[in-house]
Structure 1
């Protein structure tokens, strides 16, 4: 049970999760009034600028699910920004990751810790328990468990077998005002997902940011993987955070698996998949995109649902923009294929 703080006058302040269209990558902003948490941040100045524009300069937690470039590329820059206060930085260590981006990030985070500006937390696992909660926001770590965290990322020659970066992804469930709202699945693979299921963890949430941008889970049958994920989460909205030009995501078999388990769910890609439209794009028809948060594909007409804002409504339910009706209208008017609309019952 998530225990949340309360405060006078808090109900009139923004209580929301923003899934930012960053192209290929992930970035979620969780905010309650002026306090916020950032989950993953790839390279790109517009995202950082939008945090300042939307008064998200008091960051309680900067959380990085795993040290892949498309999840951490902008973190060092955010840590170094003098206009942004970050209370806690969370990233599980990796002895295998040796990219300049990751090593620069570790150095910047350690410097902030030395200066007592930001607390460096290297235990983004189930042991964090309620340490991530603030105000009316609850953040639960569903994976990695303590056994996986105790070993960490491991090479194939390890006695217990390989633990790749994606399998170490921190899977987070965000609650707003005490109700589950969004499951952030990062790049969790098939075996990592099965570890969560085997422990009987409650994964249900009305919104799912699907693992690995809708690409292959690399554990076998991708359609079956997508079906099993959606059976556990039971989402009303399934988001694929993707870049139009990086890979041809979401894979058709992944979309089919989502439909198997959640036939009426709203499927929304942040950018237009090449499976849905292969011809030249037009920049018209962007009226459904968020007016306050950037969408990386907007300027070139590449955003589909774009940046998605999920809110706790006044009646306690979870709502979001752009809604299914406005997004559906855009898809029908502008795209050749409408895979997200296929098989809706």
Structure 2
């Protein structure tokens, strides 16, 4: 198995990228890593080059580049070369911490869509209060969607939840502004009807945004605009609440500090619940091979878990199962 790594993408590249990849390499003896980036910066960071091949390039996609233009014009960029390795079959999957928009463009224009998938969706795994977590798509690959595309997201999310999360009958929910079947606009009502009639998935109906962190569904389906807003609300709220707790303890005298000390284990448990680094990266589902986006500010631990996530996707043949489904069910195509 070979995984292509965009070693120059992200806020702290290549340091955290190499640290995380090496940690995973030491556990995954069946994986070869293709590191795309500046060899003069990468090689000094390697403890050893076992199962590592550096493909040297000094060009990279910057965070302020226009995504599509960058992918088309920067032919030697580390992200572009990694995507081309996947397209040519030299690599089985790719990982990048770089620009989300550019990675979406590389996935679409270089790796390519699965036949029958209209618009790939971006899917992260998010926390729940019981620690189980859930996946949600789309969270920003598309500004708007049709009902048939949301059905495709439900199918792909269901495959992922079964293959990667070990769930036998994942609960699939449609994000809406109420749980009743007649809630929402025309898009949501049509999607509800299609999902209700779809065989093979455990559709639990509409779910509201105030219940998804309580594990109302294992797979939450939504359009890209709404999903991105919900994702950023969850991330921002978690950071804000944890910050408020910290300041309440540190800024209110000795009694508050003593109380914080007594509550240390409980506070740590809350922080761990909202630490999503162990879930890996966001998968661009609907492409011909696994393409995974780790957060630009990710640390080495998050990179390590993202590598393990991708390794499991390739080993399980998750993408191939999606391909075979849409070949056998042409009616599910948009």
Structure with a larger share of its residues in strand: 1
For normalisation by structure 2, the TM-score amounts to 0.33
Greater gyration radius: 2
Structure with a larger share of its residues in helix: 2
Higher relative contact order (CA 8 A, sep 6+): 2
